[in-house]
Amino acid sequence: MFRSVCVWTGVLKSAGSAQNFQQRCLNTKKEWRKAMFKKNSIFWYILKRIALMFFVLFAILIMCFVLVKLLPVTDAEAFGKDMNLILQRREALGYNKPILVQFWIFIKRSIFGGDWGISETLYRNQDVWDVFISKLPATMLVNVYSMILSVPLGLALGIYAALKKNKWQDYTISTLVMVFISVPSYVYAFLVQYLFCFKLQWFPLQMKSGTDWLSWPMFVSVIPAVISLAFGSVAGLARYSRAELSEVLTSDFMLLARTKGLKRSQATLRHALRNAMVPVFPMILGEFVGILGGSLIIEQIFGIPGVGQLFLNSITALDYNFFMLLNAFYTLIGLATGIVVDISYGLIDPRIKMGQR
């Protein structure tokens, strides 16, 4: 009898604890929902930033569309046997209608419908979106290789310069960083091309043609472009990481860590680097988001069939459909990078509260 009472008492207690646990879970879920949908929560901050991003994108598209319509259009007779096709296409896009009607047709067909038109001069009678997608792998390939080279090298140089502050190593790295930041990337591109491709003949002058992106000849052919792109990223990361780590190393909590018995290397690894990387990691994350963007001039110099070269060629060839698509693409990449960088500050450092004044 006593045993059965004990068993039933244990069952009731376990049932009660389970009910309490469920209640606590419900309360936690309600508190999480309240925190998420609070007026100054990060959820509303992200929504506001996304809404502002689309507003800015819409405003830029309006300005570009109006400016494009002020430029001359290639005469349809220049297309020869394709003249009727071009005229029908222009009629469908409302070329003979008021500019506001044309813009509404553009928004309806391109933004909401995904139909960006066909190329008239650059890739005649080819779909603009298909050509754009075919150019993305080359741009991404060069930028990924550049990030793999520049991020570790930039962080290593910045950390080393901070640890050797006010010594000849720090002065040397700081001088080189200022030179790399001040000189445009296309200057490095010409120097790399002249020295490594023409004089030493280690690499080809232009990127290898084809779609075998992961082959060894393709990798060798993109090395000059990767080096030229990496100079600016290495210099920027080295400057930021050196400045942040130098400031953290002279903080009061670092002195307290040393007085408690930690060696300099232990205090640097456990405390200094974690605090110094808070403003540096969002910068790295922003560069990863911008991988799709590419480099306009570098791609043109090294003959990389990517998005950057396509953008420049669309301007010189007066291919307005390509120009509008690529302009929207670059604008969206820039705005999305800004949002990702701002949000990452709050995720990396919980002390930074997004959406609060």
pLDDT in tens, 82-97: 677 777 777 777 777 7
Segment 65-124, tens digit of pLDDT: 888 878 777 666 666 666 777 777 777 777 777 888 888 888 888 888 777 877 777 787
β-sheet bridge partners, residue 127: 118
Structural domains for the chain: 58-112 (no CATH), 133-348 (1.10.3720.10)
Of the candidate ranges 36-40, 208-212, 222-226, the one whose mean pLDDT is the lowest: 36-40
**Across the chain, what does the average pLDDT equal?**
76
Report pLDDT for 69: 79
**Per-residue pLDDT at 22 exceeds 60:** no
- Average pLDDT for residues 185-211, to the nearest whole number? 84
- The pLDDT value given to residue 343: 77
146 confidence band (pLDDT: 50, 70, 90): confident
- From residue 342, give the alpha-carbon distance in Å to each of 42, 85, 261, 338, 355: 11, 47, 37, 6, 11
Residue 151 CA to residue 338 CA, distance in Å, equals 19
Which of 60-74, 160-174, 259-273 is predicted most confidently?
A: 160-174
Q: How far, in Å, CA of 177 to CA of 231, rounded?
A: 9
- Give me the percent of the chain exceeding a pLDDT of 70: 77
Which of 137-151, 192-206, 239-253 bottoms out in mean pLDDT, i.e. has the lowest? 239-253
In angstroms, the Cα distances linking 85 to 38, 81, 90, 98 are 55, 8, 9, 22
> Would you state the pLDDT for residue 4?
46
Confidence of residue 150 (pLDDT cuts 50, 70, 90): confident
Cβ–Cβ < 8 Å for 65, 103: yes
Are the CB atoms for 221 and 208 separated by under 8 Å? yes
Q: What is the rounded distance in angstroms from the CA atom of residue 155 to the CA atom of residue 136?
A: 28
Which of 294, 27, 33 shows the shortest CA–CA distance to 145? 294
- The SS3 call for residue 305 is coil
Would you state the pLDDT for residue 2? 39
The SS3 of residue 126 is coil
Q: Does 27 score more than 60 pLDDT? A: no
pLDDT at residue 14, as a whole number: 46
pLDDT of residue 17: 53
pLDDT given for residue 9 in this prediction: 43
Tens of pLDDT, residue by residue over 269-310, are 777 777 777 777 777 776 766 666 557 778 888 888 888 778
Query: Own/partner pairs for 300-304, CB < 8 Å, 24+ apart?
Result: 301/186, 301/189, 301/190, 301/193, 301/225, 301/228, 302/189, 302/193, 302/205, 302/206, 302/207, 302/222, 302/224, 302/225, 302/228, 303/205, 303/206, 303/207, 304/138, 304/139, 304/142, 304/207, 304/222, 304/225
The rounded distance, in Å, linking the Cα atoms of 87 and 101 is 18
Look at residue 39 in the predicted model and tell me its pLDDT.
Answer: 54
Reply yes or no on whether the pLDDT at 227 is more than 80.
yes
Instruction: Name the region of 304 (left: φ>0; alpha: ψ -120 to 50; beta: rest).
Output: beta
Contact between residue 290 and residue 338 where contact means Cβ atoms under 8 Å apart: no
Please state the rounded mean pLDDT for residues 154-158: 88
